[in-house]
């Protein structure tokens, strides 16, 4: 084996090992929802951004301790506060479609929702988070 050929084989083997290490180190799954992961107020969106849900699925947000909120709209339909399940002890605000409510069922399409949230200590400063998900059925 010539010196040149040995060098080429060594370089190719080094590249192969580097690619294998890179594939093992990089995460193979979705890293998560950056808008939620970097938001100190929002712990979870229901259903998660980009997920698929059923027409009777809960829609809302679970907030971090010290935060409160309300659902502004789901699919363009305003959701009255008296139809939302606001659980201060769980830091959550949830709407579940049902007969006689603003939405009897979620429409079978892409649906977007908006939640307004604020710090309990400073309720004058509000923010919103928007997300969309797909409804099947």
End-to-end CA distance of the chain: 66
pTM, entire model? 0.73
Structure tokens given for 71: 């659902």
* φ, ψ of residue 99 in degrees (nearest 5): -60, 135
Q: In the prediction, which pLDDT does 1 show? A: 72
Q: What is the pLDDT of residues 30-89, one digit of tens each?
A: 556 666 778 899 999 999 999 999 999 999 999 999 999 999 999 999 999 999 999 988
Q: Classify residue 48 by its DSSP letter.
A: P
**SS3 state at 7:** helix
Look up tokens 């009255």; give the residue: 80
CATH label, 34-135, candidates 3.40.190.290, 2.60.40.1220, 1.10.1060.10, 3.90.1150.10: 2.60.40.1220
Are the C-beta atoms of residues 70 and 81 closer than 8 Å to each other? yes
């Amino acid at each position: 084996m010539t010196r040149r050929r040995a060098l080429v084989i060594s370089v190719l083997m080094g590249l192969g090992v580097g690619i294998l290490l890179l594939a093992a180190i990089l995460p193979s799954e979705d890293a998560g929802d950056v808008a939620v992961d970097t938001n100190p107020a929002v712990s979870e969106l229901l259903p998660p951004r980009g997920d698929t849900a059923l027409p009777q699925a809960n829609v809302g947000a679970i907030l971090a301790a010290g935060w409160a909120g309300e659902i502004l709209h789901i699919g363009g339909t305003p959701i009255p506060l008296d139809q939302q399940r606001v659980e201060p002890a769980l830091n959550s605000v949830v709407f579940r479609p049902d007969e006689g409510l603003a939405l009897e069922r979620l429409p079978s399409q892409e649906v977007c929702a908006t939640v307004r949230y604020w710090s309990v200590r400073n309720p004058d400063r509000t923010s919103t988070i928007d997300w969309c998900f797909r409804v099947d059925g």
